[in-house]
Amino acid sequence: MILLCNLKQFATKNRLIFSLFLLCQISAVLILFFSMGVYQNYSESKIQDQKKPEGLFDERTGEEYDKDDPFYLFYEISYKNSEDNPLRAGTVKAFYRELINCIPDKLDGLGTNCTFDLDAIVFPDEELDENKVDAMQTYINFSYDIKNGKIVCNQEEEIKDFKELGWWKGGRWFTEEENISGKNVCVADIRSIKENPLFDGKLKYNKKNKKYYLTLNNIKYEVVGELNYPAGSVHIPFEAIDDNFYVIDTLCFKLNTPLTKNEFAQIKQLYLKYFSDRQVELPNIAVSDAEQLRFYNTNLIIAIVVAILVSINLILLFKYVLMTRRKELAILRITGATINKVRRLYVLETMIISIILFIFSACVFDIFIKDIVLSHYEYAYVVYSLKNYCITFLLYILVIYIILNILIYRHIKKTPISLLKGGETI
């Protein structure tokens, strides 16, 4: 009864202090769990980082990449393609749009090849049919440079590259505005198209304006530039690529900087979103955690500092509670209560509050906060288990029990007279 009366008196006569005491305890528990997750993630990230070789290595040759190597940070996405469920350009375009938004500053380029005719695709599980048109002789180019999160089209650079290879015949490349707006223009190897039966009836020459027009999937493209390419190809602006074209090659993209773990996790989610039904083989993408580790380290320091400040605040609050209850303590001593009995009463009173608040705070963290923490700290999940919650609870209560016993004993060992002289009046 005395215990319940004391708790009620503490809550009603010292409302502000009692509220601060509750808030301080809840904050301490939440910060404790957050600190545990951050520290676990920071430690595991360091371990994973130490396991990685210092450089980036080609999986095929085992040789270290040079940053000037054209295959440095170049990745291909393999997937299962079938005649019953062929991959279409619309899916790939949607994937690439989200990829650009996901890592706008780190993406240098993307691409694949496609065709308008399903018969031009040779599927992996099919026997080679020599009567079929070779897909590599009929592809529509799907390769673009990315700068600052935007698809760019440098006419001079594109033409220069083809000229150096002896593959440029004349005309112009499509402009950046045409690329963004999706204007129906193209750069094509007219000679190869004329010789390829797949394009029969699809290439027309307009004598009036002396221009070629190529019709694919009922879309009419104006040929603005001409190639003399050994394998034959058609280059079309990104937004003008028909969504119903069939993709016949692996997807690829090139980075300028290694990804962080969070960025890799986002790309992995994109894979699952668009290619979960195609048995996608994820490339071994290089991940650098230098930036991420600094972020974890900063958060860890902040969490520890705040936890220490909360602990100090908790001690000062309870010390103030003891000071305001000198009269009550003196009366207990005068009426015959021993020091140990008073100590047990005060400790039990605070421990009940601490246990209830710990359980409440742990539930709040697990239900509402844990998932948010895990979305930023992928290795933190290890510490958020029932076993660790229980161990943390025991340690937390033990520390509070020891501190309270020391603090309360030092205070109540004073005589009733000295307690009353401490500033309180009867």
- 299-321, pLDDT tens digit by residue? 556 556 665 666 666 667 767 77
242 occurs within a structural domain: yes
pLDDT for the residue numbered 51: 46
- Least reliable range by pLDDT among 61-70, 120-129, 192-201: 61-70
426 occurs within a structural domain: no
Which whole number is the average pLDDT over 391-412? 79
Q: Is the pTM of this model over 0.75?
A: no
Tokens found for residue 208: 């009036």
HSE, side-chain direction, 13 A CA sphere, residue 39: 12
88 occurs within a structural domain: yes
Q: Which of 258, 285, 312 delimits the end of a domain?
A: 285
pLDDT for the residue numbered 129: 59
pLDDT for the residue numbered 52: 46
- 153-179, pLDDT tens digit by residue? 878 888 888 888 888 999 999 888 888
| Claim to verify: residue 179 and residue 161 sit in the same structural domain | yes
149 occurs within a structural domain: yes
| Claim to verify: residue 170 and residue 94 sit in the same structural domain | yes
| Claim to verify: residue 186 and residue 274 sit in the same structural domain | yes
| Claim to verify: residue 125 and residue 213 sit in the same structural domain | yes
State how far the Cα of 286 lies from the Cα of 288, in Å rounded to an integer. 7
- Least reliable range by pLDDT among 89-98, 117-126, 347-356, 395-404: 117-126
Q: Which of 245, 270, 285 delimits the end of a domain?
A: 285
- 335-373, pLDDT tens digit by residue? 777 888 878 887 888 888 888 988 999 999 999 998 888
| Claim to verify: residue 140 and residue 40 sit in the same structural domain | no
Is pLDDT at 213 greater than 90 in this prediction? yes
Residue 67: Cβ within 10 Å count: 9
State how far the Cα of 274 lies from the Cα of 365, in Å rounded to an integer. 33
Q: With cut-offs at 50, 70 and 90, classify the pLDDT of residue 291.
A: very low
Q: With cut-offs at 50, 70 and 90, classify the pLDDT of residue 422.
A: low
pLDDT for the residue numbered 93: 94
Please state, rounded to an integer, the average pLDDT across all residues of the chain.
78
Is pLDDT at 28 greater than 90 in this prediction? no
| Claim to verify: residue 307 and residue 362 sit in the same structural domain | yes
Is pLDDT at 53 greater than 50 in this prediction? no
SS3 39: helix
| Claim to verify: residue 222 and residue 236 sit in the same structural domain | yes
What is the domain range of residue 297? 2-48+291-420
Q: With cut-offs at 50, 70 and 90, classify the pLDDT of residue 89.
A: very high
Is pLDDT at 18 greater than 60 in this prediction? yes
Q: With cut-offs at 50, 70 and 90, classify the pLDDT of residue 55.
A: very low
Question: How many structural domains does the chain have?
Answer: 2
- 215-268, pLDDT tens digit by residue? 999 999 999 999 887 666 899 999 999 999 999 888 899 888 888 777 888 888
Q: Among 274, 237, 300, 320, which residue's Cα sits nearest to residue 21?
A: 320
279 occurs within a structural domain: yes
How are beta strands 234-235 and 140-147 bridged, if at all?
parallel
Is pLDDT at 426 greater than 50 in this prediction? no
pLDDT for the residue numbered 149: 85
425 occurs within a structural domain: no
| Claim to verify: residue 266 and residue 382 sit in the same structural domain | no
Cβ atoms 244, 88 nearer than 8 A = yes
Q: With cut-offs at 50, 70 and 90, classify the pLDDT of residue 424.
A: very low
| Claim to verify: residue 235 and residue 295 sit in the same structural domain | no
| Claim to verify: residue 137 and residue 221 sit in the same structural domain | yes
Residue 270: which H helix or E strand, with range? Answer: helix 261-275
State how far the Cα of 209 lies from the Cα of 225, in Å rounded to an integer. 14
| Claim to verify: residue 184 and residue 68 sit in the same structural domain | yes
- Least reliable range by pLDDT among 100-114, 115-129, 263-277: 115-129
pLDDT for the residue numbered 125: 59
| Claim to verify: residue 211 and residue 323 sit in the same structural domain | no
- Least reliable range by pLDDT among 82-96, 169-183, 263-277, 294-308: 294-308
Q: Which of 236, 256, 285 delimits the end of a domain?
A: 285
pLDDT for the residue numbered 76: 85
State how far the Cα of 106 lies from the Cα of 255, in Å rounded to an integer. 5
11 occurs within a structural domain: yes
State how far the Cα of 352 lies from the Cα of 362, in Å rounded to an integer. 16
